[in-house]
Chain A
Amino acid sequence: MNEIKKQFKIFENYRQENNKAELIYLDSASSSLTPDIVIEKMNEYYFKYRSNIDRAISKIAIRATNEYNESRKILAKYLNCDEEEIIWTNGATNSSNLLIDMLAKHDDEYNFLNKNDEILTTILEHHSSLVPLQELAKKKNMRLRFLELNQNFELDFSKLKDLVNEKTKIVSICLVSNVIGQVNDIKKIIAEIKKINKNIFIICDMTSAFGHFKIDLKDLRNYIDATYFSFHKSFGPTGVGGLFIKRELSRNMTPTIFGGGMIAHVEKEKSEYRSDIKVFEAGTGNIAGVIGAGEAIKFIEKIAINENSKENIFDHNKNLVKYFFEKIEKLNQDLENKNKNKNLEINIFTKNYERNIGIISFQIFVDEQEIHPHDVAEILAGKNISVRAGHHCAEPLMNYLNLKNGLTRISFHIYNDETDIDNLIESFLEIKKVFEKKIEKR
């Protein structure tokens, strides 16, 4: 077991519960594993200072408040933004919906979105980004437009001049697609967009990318106005996410969720609200989760984000993608040498590894018939390999690529190693074995 795996007790526990079988976890793009220190940090809250934040003045409540506030500091420092620019949410979907609701409400007050105005997004977007935009478009009678892909599955810049105009009011682009895995050159795309129209609210969904490489909002704030992410994809707990909105913008926005924690003063008929960022965090949040999220960032910074360190997450994952490509090439050669009728084909939907964060989606064909991703995943599950099969919450992308059955996706993170890929490739041969022998029957 590699050194990093030892920091994730789930590997040892899996072995104990599954006849000493090794867990081969290739589904981090769906949800990453959580290191022991993050779990311990959250347990510490429950075991030692479980209480609510802000309101009480007991010793444990003060400790809880300090730890909760500390996480916001850690996150702000990590992203290089102001603490007052971070809203804790319960995940990326919640962040995305909150942001769109805030924009809609802002428009109710200031009327900047007009009938037939346009929202530009991309064909790569996750449903959590796209569906709230669809709702906004419906509500405000706006038109949704899509930036599509070139032959390398990269966003096709050349189409921007046809898609952006004076009616474009909102742009929403993911930093990394959860299916293709490629880091989009958002600075370049947005610079192009701003050449055509400067007055656009620009959103960037960073959910897939978060924690994989350094994101510097001090630099990026010249390009984007809001971004969001989730911690369950980056070593943190489930149910915690973040929403960043430039403070100069959120200061003029009104909350959309009301109740305890966001008020300054309440009378029978009306209320006054807080003036800080907590005005957007009504109710008791996921306190343990937020504290765990802060620890997850410490883990990322300590182990993996250091660009000079050998364990830099981005390079680690990129090298695994490269290794996977090499192994597939070797597999193809071996199969061709062995048998003139090569009957196993792997069709990969990412073209190069240089900008890939460790996500590879593919189809498998045996005897020229596609093996349904669910069947692929089922056989891999039998080999203790966790992968994802289906539409990956990106149905428009699947339709665009004409993939009626979806894709099988593998995704790497810091705990994966070359042995995991060797085992995966070995299992591809098992898939071939299961499906080839049964074909010419009836």
Chain B
Amino acid sequence: MQSQENFLYQENILDHARNPINKEELFLSSDEIKAFDQFGSPLLLSEKGENMSCGDNGILFLKIKKDKENSLILKASFLGNGCAISQSAFDMLCSELKDKLISEVKFWTPAKIYELLGIQIHQNRVNCALLSYEALVKILKNV
């Protein structure tokens, strides 16, 4: 039987936690602002996810091309500190968000995060797993 610790710490999770590909702050350059203006208003939004019980935290950044019909996520990134589960979920979610329409993302539930992590999350780690999702939900309220 596979033990609990080996099950949680799958290679892909540790890889995302150790070597995140989306861990950076996002900015809009002046060129980007100009370019965006031709299509629709550019948006850079960020929100924080925070787990008071353990101190895990992360800020999710979304660069969005806003459109009357449908807004598109051009890029997603994060900055944060926390356990392997919370930080790998942030990194995976950012990769997943790229090039997605807001209208589609609005339908995502926590199941999306569990699907990305690919492991079963027990009750005591749900807050870790959903830290990035919490930040995403806050952003979506403002789009």
Bind each other: yes
Identity of the chain A residue whose Cβ is nearest the Cβ of B6 in the assembled complex = A434
Contacts of B15 in A (CB 8 A): 438, 441-442
Of B51-59, B71-79, B94-102, which stretch is located at the interface? B51-59
Given contacts A441-B19, A442-B19, contact A372 B84 (CB under 8 A): yes
For the complex formed, measure the closest distance between the CB of B23 and the CB atoms of chain A, giving whole angstroms.
Answer: 13
Identity of the chain B residue whose Cβ is nearest the Cβ of A374 in the assembled complex = B83
The residues in A between 352 and 402 inclusive whose CB is less than 8 angstroms from any CB of B are 369, 372-375, 378-379, 381-383, 389-391, 395, 398
Among candidates A395, A404, A438, residue contacting B14 with C-beta atoms closer than 8 Å: A438
Across the interface, do A379 and B82 meet the contact criterion of CB distance under 8 Å? Answer: no
Contacts of A442 in B (CB 8 A): 15, 19, 21
Is A256 close to B, CB under 8 A? no
For the complex formed, measure the closest distance between the CB of B54 and the CB atoms of chain A, giving whole angstroms.
Answer: 4
Contacts of B4 in A (CB 8 A): 378, 381-382
Docked pose: A237 CA to B87 CA in angstroms = 37
Given contacts A390-B53, A391-B54, contact A372 B83 (CB under 8 A): yes
Contacts of A435 in B (CB 8 A): 9, 14
Given contacts A382-B3, A439-B18, contact A404 B11 (CB under 8 A): no
Is B125 close to A, CB under 8 A? yes
- Total A-B residue contacts, Cβ distance less than 8 Å: 70
For the complex formed, measure the closest distance between the CB of B85 and the CB atoms of chain A, giving whole angstroms.
Answer: 8
Across the interface, do B9 and A375 meet the contact criterion of CB distance under 8 Å? Answer: yes
Contacts of A381 in B (CB 8 A): 4-5
Number of interface residues of A (CB under 8 A): 25
Docked pose: A439 CA to B20 CA in angstroms = 11
Docked pose: A374 CA to B87 CA in angstroms = 12
Across the interface, do A404 and B54 meet the contact criterion of CB distance under 8 Å? Answer: no
Docked pose: A390 CA to B51 CA in angstroms = 10
Contacts of B103 in A (CB 8 A): none
Is B120 close to A, CB under 8 A? no
For the complex formed, measure the closest distance between the CB of A136 and the CB atoms of chain B, giving whole angstroms.
Answer: 23
Is A430 close to B, CB under 8 A? yes
Contact with A along B47-69 (1 / 0, CB 8 A): 00000011110000000000000
Contacts of B9 in A (CB 8 A): 375, 378-379, 434-435, 438
Among candidates B11, B21, B82, B85, residue contacting A438 with C-beta atoms closer than 8 Å: B11
Identity of the chain A residue whose Cβ is nearest the Cβ of B56 in the assembled complex = A374
Docked pose: A383 CA to B6 CA in angstroms = 11
Residue among A374, A379, A382, A389 with the highest chain B CB neighbour number at 10 A: A374
Docked pose: A405 CA to B56 CA in angstroms = 7
Across the interface, do A406 and B54 meet the contact criterion of CB distance under 8 Å? Answer: yes
Across the interface, do A369 and B18 meet the contact criterion of CB distance under 8 Å? Answer: yes
Since A374-B85, A375-B9 are in contact, a sample of 17 more A-B pairs with Cβ atoms closer than 8 Å, ordered by chain A residue number, is A372-B56, A375-B83, A378-B83, A378-B125, A379-B9, A381-B4, A381-B5, A382-B5, A395-B55, A406-B54, A406-B55, A434-B5, A434-B9, A435-B9, A438-B11, A439-B14, A442-B21
Q: Which 4 A-B pairs have the closest CB atoms?
A: A382-B5, A374-B83, A372-B83, A382-B4
